Structure 1
Amino acid sequence: MKIILISIGTRGDIEPFLAIGELLQEKGHQAICAFPDQFRNLAEESNLQFVSLGLKFIELLQSNDGKLAMGGRGSGLEKFLATIRLARNQTDASKELLNRQYELVEKEKPDRIIYNGKAVYPIIWSLSHFGKTIWISPLPYMHYVRDRTHLAFNSNYGPFLNKLTYSLANFGLVTTVMIAKKWLGITRKITREQVQDALVSNKAIYTISSSLFSRPVYWHKNLKVLGFHQRRKTINWEPDGPLIDFLEKHNKILFITFGSMTNPESEEKTKIVIEILERNHIPAIINTESGGLVKPVGFVSELIYFVSRVPYDWIFPRIYGTIHHGGSGTTHLSLKYGCATMIIPHILDQFVWNKILFDKGVGPKGIKIEKISTKSLEPKVLELINNISFKKTAEQIANHMEKEDFREEIYKAIVEA
């Protein structure tokens, strides 16, 4: 089969599609990855065919308004205005993404399309290709769960109001699809009812470990939870000598990263983290890959080692705990390797993972990025490193995840009509 994988967002939105693309390619299918251009190298690392969806979407997130909306320090009014400007400037980026999806699908005429929640055209395509699309989400609470609101609301208002939040989210998505139809100049009749029916009946797969999110028994059979899927990240990578020496020299090492999240105060936030680590003699590896944390000029410390690129599946088995932004991929990998974990959430879904991990007992509840200070963060870091129950619980979850193997099930869900 010719299968197109369309994913839009940050790196955490891309990684599950790379893992599925590798699986499909191993099975002999043609897998075409359509992502924003910034993720071209990730697809090429996995030897997957890549088609660019453009640059504008990620550039928008990395703009000053994007950084402020995603966790920069500012008043509530400043953040609100930044979010409004971001939404106003999103039209061009959305049109670029939509047109490139449409052009790719029309050119390739795929047998299947696998897509995430930010990709709109596959929903329109599914109206004339029933059963040929598969929606993938590494995030929970996108379909009705009685005791939780839709992910965007991150709360529990009781079954009735919770259900209403999912209805509101679906209403917004249907409206977005109708706008996309107009932008593309599609003349055939498409009604809101048709789109709503497609959203209910199309296949949907959550790539989440059941140890973190269990499938409700009342869900329709087309909704599945099929575990965390990870690509082979250590291809063409070797650790350097100083990193090996650092790991051999220290015990109970923390790994600290903000993943692909950026913020306009990275130097200040890094300084706070460093002060806490050095005052309490805690060894740590700090990841600066996307600029959310930065190495101070001329900084030297025997306790702290900076990296700009390291595969998590290599480093996590070698450390004690993690402090990270709460992306789905980083969250799963941290627990897969039994790391005590604390999340510093930046945006929507990361607050959900923060609550899930706190409820599971693998670490203290983290502080949102703009509220970080020495006073607020230091006791949390000390609790993470000193409370041995966090590590033990994380290792129990790791044992559960090790037994999960849904590769064949997710493959069948994709290829079987």
Structure 2
Amino acid sequence: MALGSRGDVEPFLAQAALFDNSHEILCVFPEQFREEVEGLGYAFEGFPAEFLELLSSQTGKQVMGGQGGFFEKIKGYLKLMKSSMKLQNRIIEVQKEAIDRFQPDRVMYHSKCLYGLFGGLLEPSKYIAVHAMPCLTHPSSKYPHIGFGKWNIISPFWIKLSYSFVNGVRRRMLKRFLGQFYSDHPEMDFSPKNFKELEEKILTNIYNISPSLFPKPAEWPENARITGYLHRNQKKDYQPEPGLENWLEKYPKAILVTFGSMSNTRPREISEIFVRMLSEMEIPAIINTSWGGLEKVENAPDSILFVNRIPYDYIMPKLYGVVHHGGSGTTHLASYYSCVQLIIPHIIDQYFWNRLVSDKGLGPKGISVHKLNQKNLSPVLSDFWSNGKYLENVSEMANRMQGESDPNLVKELIMNPKS
């Protein structure tokens, strides 16, 4: 069960592939992924399509793109929250109904799928939390909670407080959404304290992240396992667009510019800024328009190639670097394929990955999408393109990540969570 955009769904599809030939699999994702999931041969039940449509609305774009002044942002957040809360009850019903019908042996769930916590309290050996990013449930002494990733918090006191605050508020809100099920189990204690104990110390937590990028903190308990970044083969059925391979031969040192499934309120302006700067610096680039965060610019030079879909595992091994939004999956794949990175963060965890990439020397620290302009992009793009130290660091990181993910360990944790 995963609720969100592609970056939220991909870790679950990668794990599903481990059991293709041995188990029956049901994927409960947003309705927009039905065709793709059923094409992979899995059963599917859909969350209301309105959830992702909400993120693509004008309000969603303003929030995710960080546009407007302080009060406009607060107003947008509140409007988005109000609309999403209306959907939340139906989303939770879909989770419960799917589990009741399917009667699974194991439930692997995303942190946004709140029914996973309720079920986990009833049957802790049956439910497994899967995370595509750290700094959520289990605190890090170095980085604040992912929700505060935008701010450079370095005080140990405030770092610790960020986890207590966010997770405390979240656990107290559970009653609002899950309280309707409490009466069926009068013997259970559904207090925030019990949910905290469940999440932090009891449930198996699989972090689908690289220990080379983010080593397991010493303070994490045994039930929190960093298993390496597991990803599936997305290129096997891919047919390159006409002219792509010839373009790559013509420009052997090139980059990819992609915002994945992120959107913003000024895709045309941002696309024009990138085309202008890439042209001036003579940087050949493939621009992936994807979900609309970037747009095709007319009269762009031959060194700029626009595509609307391209598997990262096909294109990244052929590139020097990637300019991207900073999603967990894109950050991991760029590191895995030895690409220098420049992150243009949009929301939440992307600011964390931006900081981490900079800390590891895999690229310069990027600029928030809502502050991006030609003046501040120029020096970081130049540094990204010409600093040889980044290329040395990403090559070393890529070597460390090869073979780091152990599919057998992931299967063992899923089949025998107590082991």
**Counterpart position of 1:39:** 33
Post-superposition offset of 1:396:
0.8
**Counterpart position of 1:385:** 385
**Counterpart position of 2:87:** 93
Q: Look up the equivalent residue of 2:378 and give its one-letter code.
A: E
Map residues 41-60 of structure 1 onto 2, 5 A cutoff: 41-60=35-54
Q: Percent identity?
A: 35
Counterpart Cα distance in 2 of 1:183 and 1:85:
25
Q: Using a 3 Å threshold, how does the CA distance of structure 1 residues 186 and 58 change in structure 2: closer, same or farther?
A: farther
Post-superposition offset of 1:180:
1.8
Counterpart Cα distance in 2 of 1:194 and 1:72:
35
**Counterpart position of 2:410:** 410
Deviating beyond 6 angstroms after TM superposition, the runs of 4 or more aligned structure 1 residues are none
SS in 1 for 2:243: helix
**Counterpart position of 1:119:** 113
**Counterpart position of 1:295:** 296
Map residues 5-404 of structure 1 onto 2, 5 A cutoff: 6-26=1-21, 28-142=22-136, 143-154=138-149, 155-183=152-180, 186-189=183-186, 190-192=189-191, 193-200=193-200, 201-296=202-297, 298-404=298-404
Listed one character per residue, the Cα deviations across residues 281-314 of structure 1 (whole Å, up to 9, x for unaligned) are 1110000011000002x43421100011111000
Q: Look up the equivalent residue of 1:337 and give its one-letter code.
A: Y
Q: Is the 8 A contact 2:182 2:190 kept in 1?
A: no
Instruction: Between 298-307 and 106-115, report the one with greater CA deviation.
Output: 298-307
Listed one character per residue, the Cα deviations across residues 234-266 of structure 1 (whole Å, up to 9, x for unaligned) are 132111330011000013201000000011210
Counterpart Cα distance in 2 of 1:153 and 1:414:
30
Post-superposition offset of 1:153:
1.7
Instruction: Between 381-390 and 45-54, report the one with greater CA deviation.
Output: 45-54
**Counterpart position of 1:3:** none
Instruction: Between 252-261 and 214-223, report the one with greater CA deviation.
Output: 214-223
Runs of 5+ consecutive residues of structure 1 not aligned to the other structure: 1-5
Post-superposition offset of 1:270:
0.2
Counterpart Cα distance in 2 of 1:357 and 1:72:
21
Listed one character per residue, the Cα deviations across residues 87-119 of structure 1 (whole Å, up to 9, x for unaligned) are 111122212211100111111111111011101
Runs of 5+ consecutive residues of structure 2 not aligned to the other structure: none
TM-score, with normalisation over the residues of structure 2? 0.94
TM-score, with normalisation over the residues of structure 1? 0.95
Listed one character per residue, the Cα deviations across residues 162-207 of structure 1 (whole Å, up to 9, x for unaligned) are 2222222221222232122234574433421332322221111111
Counterpart Cα distance in 1 of 2:355 and 2:124:
37
Instruction: Between 170-179 and 280-289, report the one with greater CA deviation.
Output: 170-179
Q: Look up the equivalent residue of 2:274 and give its one-letter code.
A: V
Listed one character per residue, the Cα deviations across residues 121-159 of structure 1 (whole Å, up to 9, x for unaligned) are 011111221211110111111211122221112244433
SS in 2 for 1:152: helix
